[in-house]
Structure 1
């Protein structure tokens, strides 16, 4: 059973950004040495009202950053997420991907 939902490379060639329902985690890999970080902005639709960001800020092409969360399980619960690049933690967002939905409970 596939548990990952990933931003397609053809829409976001700057890195890899996936949500893995097996462990409730985002997996990010920055693929371009441009001084910007890869960021995933997410919102949980699980009744908790939670949202946040996961940052790969330690440079390009050096392995994945994993951000673990504990979302509420439920067959209709999901996270909506987008990948983007950013100059610093609070800089301007650029190269914003289309939004994706990843189900929290593996299907």
Structure 2
């Protein structure tokens, strides 16, 4: 009986010390990838889009029923990297997602344009938003 009481006391002491350590130091945080997004103006007539540094993903949405497609143009500074993400399936039906592999730790820009066809002329151009490919 004595051993059981002593063992319970030891377990209670360890539990109390552990609880105190958590209160003082806080629970152990898990490292998580920082996801940074750089977005164009919402509800602009040419469309809207975002670049996500985690995974180098881009989303673009056509929000105007004008027969044009919304295209996100991505440029990476200090390189010849240029990418496009097209939302060509009509307006007001959500985002189109594209996954790119771009050079990390570089300045970049995203601009949404309204284009007549895949290779046609740009009819409208949105503001250029600058960011960093590594989420700075």
What TM-score comes out, normalization by structure 2 length?
Answer: 0.67
Bigger Rg over Cα: 2
Q: Is the helix fraction higher in 1 or 2?
A: 2
> Structure 1 segments of 4 or more deviating over 3 A?
none
Structure with greater contact order relative to length (CA < 8 Å, sep ≥ 6): 1
Structure 2 segments unaligned to the other structure (5+ residues): 1-33
Write the distance in 2 (CA, Å) between the matches of 1:98 and 1:14.
10
Which residue is equivalent to 2:116? 87
Write the distance in 2 (CA, Å) between the matches of 1:8 and 1:63.
16
Structure 1 segments unaligned to the other structure (5+ residues): none
Write the distance in 2 (CA, Å) between the matches of 1:106 and 1:42.
15
Tell me which of 48, 58, 65 is aligned to 1:16: 48
Taking a change above 3 Å as real, the CA distance of residues 85 and 65 of structure 1, as seen in their structure-2 partners, is same
Tell me which of 75, 99, 104 is aligned to 1:68: 99
Q: Please, what is the CA RMSD of the aligned residues?
A: 1.8
Measure how far apart 1:68 and its partner are.
Answer: 0.8
Which residue is equivalent to 1:104? 133
